[in-house]
């Protein structure tokens, strides 16, 4: 078994690279920071993600640069060092193909992909706990050495993630389903709002915020991501196009309730298959709605009162009521906890709805 001793060289000090550095630094692993943008590297160093001045040969190199450049940097690091090399890109086929076109031996290279991130970019968005409890995909190819695979697994575990091993091709199809396609669908939905009348936007509620949230990601970065995974995405988009045609036909008929119900039911079937928190199986939760005044301290008071009930809040979201000085907090709990939560909150003066 390979022990992660360090130093670890991180090439690219954006959100992911800097977060990896912070996660390793809390374990005392020596981290070298490299970035073509000296300001990013300096900022990552100042917040404790590592040092720009490490002069020791690295044990492991983590490439965390934009997707279009991953393969070239992987090949460069394989040539310049004797280290094992991994990357953090969200697409694996193209970096592997690019690296192979630039160097003969890629046996020390194992692709990987931490499934964590944020709409924010840059080193100042980084967090040491970004990967805690997250899934980290490891994607060895047919010539990857066992030592390289094991060391990359140790990296993910050191950062707090749980690992899953996939082939390069299976990974790219998987992320197309759960990440890249949802982003494109969100962008298309949000795009219809760009020239919408302001009177329409005044009707906005939590539903449209949920659907369009991820559309706020950097367009230039997402262009690289989806372009690099065009093969997997094309098949899924063709499937979606077929379902859109089916939906349009159903909407054009006067009596199409059964067809519409079937389409919507298929969505429910897919939604319940999404794992719950910490990767656990999906569980049915009951939502308790609490009206909350829009003033300081109220959210903290609500959380304290909910904790006093003994109910574990599995999920929550906040919906702001347009034109009213209140909002609604949705607390999702297991069915067995609903009555005790409602009773305690009601006793403490909250307006509660099931």
Beta-carbon contacts of 330 under 8 Å, excluding residues fewer than 6 positions away, are 287, 288, 289, 290, 316, 317, 318, 319
Note whether 117 and 65 are same-domain residues: yes
Band of pLDDT at residue 303, cut at 50, 70 and 90: confident
The pLDDT of residue 85 is 98
Note whether 262 and 239 are same-domain residues: yes
Note whether 143 and 121 are same-domain residues: yes
Note whether 16 and 162 are same-domain residues: yes
- Percent of the chain having pLDDT more than 90? 57
The pLDDT of residue 119 is 63
Q: How many angstroms separate the CA atoms of 65 and 16, rounded?
A: 9
The pLDDT of residue 280 is 56
**Are 108 and 78 a contacting pair, CB within 8 Å?**
yes
Q: How many angstroms separate the CA atoms of 235 and 255, rounded?
A: 31
Mind listing the pLDDT tens digit for each residue in 179-236? 999 999 999 999 999 999 999 988 887 788 888 888 988 898 889 889 999 999 999 9
Domain harbouring 78, CATH code: 3.40.50.720
Query: Which of 44-48, 58-62, 243-247, 320-324 is the least confident region?
Result: 320-324
Please state, rounded to an integer, the average pLDDT across all residues of the chain.
Answer: 89
The pLDDT of residue 218 is 85
Domain harbouring 196, CATH code: 1.10.3660.10
Alpha helices by DSSP H, listed for the chain, are 15-25, 38-46, 70-80, 93-102, 146-158, 168-175, 181-191, 198-201, 206-212, 219-228, 230-252, 257-271, 298-308, 338-347
Q: Under DSSP, is residue 293 helix (H, G, I), strand (E, B) or coil? A: strand
**Within its chain, how far is the Cα of 282 from the centroid?**
18
Mind listing the pLDDT tens digit for each residue in 309-334? 888 888 777 776 555 677 788 888 88
The answer, yes or no, to whether residue 278 has pLDDT greater than 60, is no
The pLDDT of residue 132 is 93
Domain boundary among 208, 242, 273: 273
Domain that includes residue 40, residue range: 8-166
Beta-carbon contacts of 57 under 8 Å, excluding residues fewer than 6 positions away, are 7, 81, 82, 83
Note whether 251 and 296 are same-domain residues: no
Evaluate whether residue 341 is within a structural domain. Answer: yes
Note whether 118 and 196 are same-domain residues: no
Evaluate whether residue 53 is within a structural domain. Answer: yes
Mind listing the pLDDT tens digit for each residue in 100-152? 999 999 999 999 999 987 767 789 999 999 999 899 999 999 999 999 999 99
The pLDDT of residue 335 is 85
Query: Which of 23-32, 82-91, 273-282 is the least confident region?
Result: 273-282
Listing DSSP states for 91-110 in one string gives --HHHHHHHHHH-S--TTB-
- For the segment 239-247, the average pLDDT, to the nearest whole number, is 93
Q: Under DSSP, is residue 213 helix (H, G, I), strand (E, B) or coil? A: helix
């Amino acid at each position: 078994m390979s022990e992660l001793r360090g130093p670890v060289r991180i090439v690219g000090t954006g959100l992911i690279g800097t977060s990896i550095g912070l996660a390793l630094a809390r374990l005392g692993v020596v981290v070298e920071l490299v970035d073509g943008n000296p300001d990013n590297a300096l900022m990552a160093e100042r917040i404790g993600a590592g040092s720009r001045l490490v002069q020791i040969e690295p044990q492991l190199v983590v490439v965390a640069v934009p997707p279009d450049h991953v393969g070239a940097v992987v090949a460069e690091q394989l040539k310049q060092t004797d280290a094992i090399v991994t990357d953090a890109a969200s697409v694996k086929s193209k970096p592997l193909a690019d690296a192979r076109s630039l160097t003969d031996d890629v046996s020390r290279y194992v692709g990987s992909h931490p499934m964590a991130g944020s709409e924010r970019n840059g080193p100042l968005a980084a967090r040491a706990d970004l990967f805690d409890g997250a899934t980290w995909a490891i994607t060895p190819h047919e010539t990857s050495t066992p030592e390289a695979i094991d060391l990359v697994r140790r990296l993910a575990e050191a950062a707090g993630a749980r690992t899953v091993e996939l082939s390069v091709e299976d990974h790219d199809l998987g992320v197309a389903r759960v990440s890249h396609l949802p982003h494109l669908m969100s962008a298309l939905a949000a795009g219809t709002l760009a020239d919408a009348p302001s009177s329409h936007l005044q009707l906005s509620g939590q539903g449209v915020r949920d659907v369009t949230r991820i559309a706020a990601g950097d367009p230039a970065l997402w262009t690289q991501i989806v372009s690099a995974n065009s093969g997997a995405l094309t098949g899924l988009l063709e499937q979606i196009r077929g379902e859109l045609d089916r939906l349009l036909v159903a909407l054009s008929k006067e009596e199409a309730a059964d067809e519409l119900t079937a389409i919507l039911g298929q969505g429910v079937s897919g939604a319940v298959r999404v794992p719950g928190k910490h990767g656990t199986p999906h569980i049915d939760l009951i939502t308790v709605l609490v009206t909350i005044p829009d003033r300081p301290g109220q959210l903290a008071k609500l959380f304290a009162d909910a904790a006093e009930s003994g109910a574990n809040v599995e999920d929550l979201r906040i919906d702001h009521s347009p034109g009213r000085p209140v909002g609604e907090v949705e607390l999702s709990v297991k069915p067995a906890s609903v009555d005790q939560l409602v009773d305690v909150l009601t006793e403490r003066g909250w307006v509660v709805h099931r």
